[in-house]
């Protein structure tokens, strides 16, 4: 494992850490049967029945996984 030769100053450490910022995820709006839902792009969505029970995951109209 690499070991630094000298201690990193507090200002250098904090300025390096300040570059890591959280980003707002890009959401995709989809409308199905009058319901608007937001989801992450390229992600399988959960298909539910009328009672709200999750049935399976779907991506591009195909069943990809059971819940």
What confidence tens digit (pLDDT) does each residue in 2-61 have? Answer: 898 999 999 998 888 888 888 888 998 988 788 898 888 988 988 899 898 999 999 988
- Residue 36's closest CA among 24, 27, 49? 27
Q: Is residue 47 part of a domain?
A: yes
What's the pLDDT at 45? 86
Sheet bearing 45-48, strands edge to edge: 45-48, 54-59, 62-66
- 10 occurs within a structural domain: no
pTM of structure: 0.49
In a domain, 12, yes or no: no
Per-residue model confidence (pLDDT) at position 58: 92
11 assigned to some structural domain: no
Look up the domain containing 34 and give its range: 25-66
pLDDT score recorded for residue 53: 93
pLDDT score, position 18: 83
Domain count for the chain, please give it.
1
Q: Give the C-alpha separation, 49 to 16, whole Å.
A: 48
49, 51, 45: which is closest to 65 by C-alpha? 45
Q: Is 3 contained in some domain?
A: no
């Amino acid at each position: 494992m690499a070991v630094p030769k000298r201690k990193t100053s507090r200002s250098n450490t904090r300025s390096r850490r300040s570059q890591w910022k959280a980003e707002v995820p890009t959401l995709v709006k989809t409308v199905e049967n009058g319901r608007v839902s937001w989801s992450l792009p390229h992600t399988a969505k959960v298909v539910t029945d009328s009672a709200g029970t999750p049935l399976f995951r779907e991506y591009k109209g195909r069943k990809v996984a059971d819940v």
